[in-house]
Amino acid sequence: MKKKNSITIKKVIFVLFMTVLALVFVFPLIWMIASSFKYDAQIFKDINGLRAFTVTSFEDNPFFNYQEVLANIPLVRAALNSIFYIAIIIVLGMTLNSMAGYAFARIKFPKRDLIFGIVLALMIIPSQTVILSQFSIVYRLGWTNSYLGLIVPSLADPLFIFLFRQNFLGVPESIEEAAKIDGASRVRIFFQLIVPLAKPVYGTVTILTFIKFWNDFLWPVMVITDTKKYTIQMSLNSLFAIKPVNYGNVMAGLTFITIPVLIVFLCMQKYYVQGIASTGAKN
């Protein structure tokens, strides 16, 4: 009985601790949303108290900051631009990286382990160290100020190859052997058998890819110059070019661009958890 009570107390303490921790992480989000409904003077007035996390009073038009942002910058067009090129990266990138991961997991070819080791080594190289060389290649190919310049260099990703490879190692080889006996080709086995079994890792990669490129600013600002092709982060950054900076507008813009990330994560969170769990250490 004492042991059962002890376990119950530990669970209660654990739940309370995780609740407090979750609130700590969510406080900046609450503050951002609350500030998006305030004027600058009210934001700075409330910043040192609990009122910073609440909307103390609504004006006649509580969405005035959002209206000003949408009137001053083409945020909707930029959001659609980002969604367009990120969707292409997700589809093509997942196909490329998953096929590479499958090759490293199942196909025996010369120097496979050495090549995979090189791929793992690429994970520790910061992208900023090669970005100038990457831009030089894109420039010589004539891909600047085009979606090709945004998409093609972003397709292959060592981390995603690793995630797919680890997931595919967990699929029993006997399933593939049975398919081979029935006359299925390697391509058919991959797309009709392996891919459906790997939905969690595909969901994980979708979330990580969307967040990575939705928040990307450095590479798009180097490649894109046409304002009609601006990505969401480039468009939002133009708010800081308007002097004086209106922080209520900035908070409204940040809230606006956070909504798609939350939607994607909430829709695919179960796959994210399963995908991470399925990529544990495997030989």
Which class for 147: exposed (0-12), middle (13-18), buried (19 or more C-beta within 10 A)?
Answer: middle
Both structure tokens of 209: 């890819």
The rounded Cα 26 to chain-centroid distance in angstroms is 18
- The CA distance from 35 to 151, in Å, is 35
Q: Is there a contact between 32 and 258 (Cβ–Cβ < 8 Å)?
A: yes
More confident residue, 4 or 46: 46
- The CA distance from 9 to 18, in Å, is 14
DSSP class of 109: -
The candidate with the shortest Cα–Cα distance to 58, out of 37, 32, 31, is 37
Q: pLDDT tens digit string along 191-222?
A: 888 888 888 889 889 999 999 999 999 999 99
The label of the residue with tokens 């967040």 reads: 211
CATH class, domain 73-277, is mainly alpha
Q: pLDDT tens digit string along 7-46?
A: 677 888 888 888 888 888 888 888 898 888 888 888 888 8
Q: What is the pTM of this model?
A: 0.85
